[in-house]
Structure 1
Amino acid sequence: MEILPAIDLKNGYAVRLKKGLMESAKIYSKDPSEIAKKFEDMGARWLHLVDLDGAFAGKAVNYKAIEKIVSSTNLKVEVGGGIRDEQRIKDYQNIGVERFILGSIALKNLNFTKEMAKKYKIAVGIDAKGGMIAVEGWAEVSKVKATDLAKEYANAGVDAIICTDIEKDGMLSGVNVEFTKEIALASGIKTIASGGVKDINDIVALKNSGKIYGVIVGKAYYEGKIDLKEVFKLS
């Protein structure tokens, strides 16, 4: 199973939020590239990067910080937050980003997302509150069921789905294994769990489900609840 340590960016700093609320931001580093190097040294293959400011603004805000992070390691990097057009994908591709996460736009413009999936390595971000899709930095909850959106992308050439239970995110309360499995089964696409990982037992539960491709680890690492070196041995 693929383990993706996460760096969320706000004002160029590495932060973590609770339930996606910007006012809950806690700063963990003023130089996120140093964290990325640590992840690589511990055995990471992938890095999950989110431009939090960009998710709200609908455009890249932390581009320079992302460029520095990508250039500082040999990790494969996926980036999300504010990607709304092909030019932004190209800009990120030009600095070495491997995979591009489409969230709000994946709900609002299915045709665009499917077109991009034919040309680039696209991950669709399915972020849900109470099973319903949330967009615009999770500030808005739609009337679309998460599983229905997953079905829409079943045969669209999407590389991965990143599935977040927002109520769990940043809370260290345990990952929602069943919800992630539902998305994986609905889409048939390799699905990455996100939100709520509290310790290595969550990773084991996801792996034992047999249906889940990967998991994003954020706050559990930053708060010292999980030993990534041990976790990478499971991947």
Structure 2
Amino acid sequence: MQIIPAIDLKEGCAVRLSQGLMESAKVYAENPLELAKHFEEIGAKYLHIVDLDGAFAGEPKNRAVIAQICKESKLKIEVGGGIRNEETIQHYEDLGVERVILGSIALKNPDFALKMAEKYAIVIGIDAKDGKVATEGWAKSGNVLAWEFAELFKGSKVKAIICTDIARDGMLNGLNIDFTKKIQEKSAIFTIASGGLSSLQDFAGLENAGINGVIVGKAFYEGKINLQEIFRKFED
């Protein structure tokens, strides 16, 4: 299983939100690099970084912090938030980012996302409210069903799909495994669960459902899980 700790960046700090609401931001680290190094020290192989300011602005806002983490850690890093063009994708690849996450632009222009996946390691971020895809830092919700959107990428070069049930994100009330499984089945692409992870039981549920990727956020920050033990027990 790919167990991917998350660092969400707001004004250069590592924060967590509840249900994607910026006003709910709680700062957990003023130095995200130290946090990334801690994840590496306890056994992480991967790191999920979201530029929250970038997601709302439509362009990256925390590039310097991300560049520093890329330079000073050996983690396989995926980055999302405000990535809307090839220039930004290329910039992150040049920094050493392993995978680039496309969210809003993939919904607006699926052909662009498919084209980029032919050239770069692209992950599609599908964030849903009531089963419908949300964009612009989750501020806007449309009428496109998440699993129908996921199906557009079936047979493509997309490396993975990250699917988040926004209602559960940061709430510590358990992953929506059925939702994740449906995305995986419709897309036939490696799917990473996100939003609501709260306990060891969630990892067992993912294994039973055949889902081999998960993002860990608030459950770690609030001390609900021992991440070092989980790396030993579940990770590849």
Tell me which interval the TM-score lies in, with the shorter structure as reference length: over 0.9
Q: Determine the structure 1 residue equivalent to 2:49.
A: 49
Secondary structure at the residue paired with 1:24? strand
Identity of aligned residues (%): 57
Q: What is the Cα deviation at residue 163 of structure 1?
A: 0.4
- 1:1-235 aligned at under 5 Å gives the runs 1-210=1-210, 212-233=211-232, 234-235=234-235
Q: What is the Cα deviation at residue 17 of structure 1?
A: 0.1
Distance 1:89 1:75 in 2: 18
**After superposition, what is the alpha-carbon deviation per residue over 1:145-177, rounded to whole angstroms, capped at 9, x for unaligned?**
000000000112100000000000000010000
**After superposition, what is the alpha-carbon deviation per residue over 1:20-42, rounded to whole angstroms, capped at 9, x for unaligned?**
00000000001000010010111
Distance 1:107 1:24 in 2: 26
Q: What is the Cα deviation at residue 213 of structure 1?
A: 2.1
Equivalent position amino acid for 2:21 in 1:
L
Equivalent position amino acid for 1:40 in 2:
E
Structure 2 gaps, min length 5: none
Equivalent position amino acid for 1:183 in 2:
I
Distance 1:229 1:192 in 2: 20
**After superposition, what is the alpha-carbon deviation per residue over 1:178-211, rounded to whole angstroms, capped at 9, x for unaligned?**
000000000000000000001111111111211x
Equivalent position amino acid for 1:103 in 2:
G
Distance 1:209 1:71 in 2: 36
RMSD: 0.6
Structure 1 gaps, min length 5: none
Secondary structure at the residue paired with 1:155? coil
**After superposition, what is the alpha-carbon deviation per residue over 1:109-141, rounded to whole angstroms, capped at 9, x for unaligned?**
011000000000000001000000000000000
Distance 2:99 2:200 in 1: 26
Secondary structure at the residue paired with 2:125? strand
Secondary structure at the residue paired with 2:124? strand
- Equivalenced residue count is 234
Q: What is the Cα deviation at residue 13 of structure 1?
A: 0.1
Secondary structure at the residue paired with 2:229? helix
Distance 1:159 1:94 in 2: 18
Structure 1 stretches (4+) deviating beyond 4 angstroms?
A: none
Equivalent position amino acid for 2:80 in 1:
G
